[in-house]
Amino acid sequence: MKHGRNGGGLLRIAHLCFGLLLAVAAVSGNGASAQERLPEYQLGAGDTIRIFVFQNPDLTVETRVTENGSISYPLVGSVRIGGMTIPAAELVIAKALKDGNFIRQPQVNISLLQNRGNQVSVLGAVNKAGRFPLETVNIRVSEMLAIAGGIAPTGGDIVILTGARNGKPLRKVIDVAGMFLDGKLEEDIVVAGGDVIYVSSQPLFYIYGQVQRPGSYRVERGMTVRQALAQGGGPTLRGTERGLRAFRRSAGGQIESSNPEPGDRVLPNDVLYVQESLF
């Protein structure tokens, strides 16, 4: 009986220890800091953060990262944290407090309250246009398009990215389909906060006259005049390919007319006219 009582006591102690471990785990999970959720997020202008210093409630503040990437913090004044990850910013503030002999061993925790700085705008022919946060580093153009719901059915293959790199303006025209079809993956560049991605509308050509289905159609990659004519259903019984005319705007803005060959390429905004047969 004595042995049984000792065994029961040990079992209760084991249960108690296990319960304490679960409680600690729960507290740790609920108190997960922003840097644990966003380990690679880089703070940028416009971000709102909360700074907490362990056992120093007077130093708990909410502040906004200014345009030059700095914040104003009690005791230490201006601290530059723009472009830093959250853990790196915590170390910078802790060092400033320690170097100023304000706190011997400061434990600093930063929570991201509002993400305004590292955002990319995706506009144009996408399924969900808007501003999207960069929650990790090394996000590429194709990934941002996916975040925006992908290119809409009315969208084309060409994407224009504008922004700045190293203080200099950046403008890059990217053929999204070509990146994958032609193996030009180097075109899928990494985006940065403040970038704007614009997806242009799909390129169209127009066909009218003696054709089965006159109207406007998408210019497919490498499309020829013969393929464009097939898109329109081909000539009617009264039409003829021999009288096909093409109208295209020149570099100078003038409309030029030509008699294209069936294998000639079709360009965006080309207008094809199928004439009536004389016989």
Q: State residue 1's pLDDT score.
A: 45
The pTM for the full model equals: 0.62
| Helix, strand, or coil (residue 15) | helix
Q: Is the dihedral of CA 261, 263, 268, 272 positive or negative?
A: positive
Give the residue with greater pLDDT, 156 vs 114: 156
Give the residue with greater pLDDT, 127 vs 117: 127
For the chain, the C-alpha Rg in angstroms (whole number) is 32
| Interval 15-26 mean pLDDT | 38
Give the residue with greater pLDDT, 132 vs 115: 132
Q: State residue 202's pLDDT score.
A: 94
Distance (Å) of CA 68 to CA 42, 83, 223, 239, 247: 14, 10, 49, 66, 52
List pLDDT tens digits, range 136-147.
778 999 999 999
245-249 and 255-258 beta bridge pairing: antiparallel
Q: What region does 15 belong to: left with phi over 0, alpha with psi -120 to 50, or beta?
A: alpha
Contact 141, 189 (CB under 8 A): yes
Residue 58 DSSP label: G
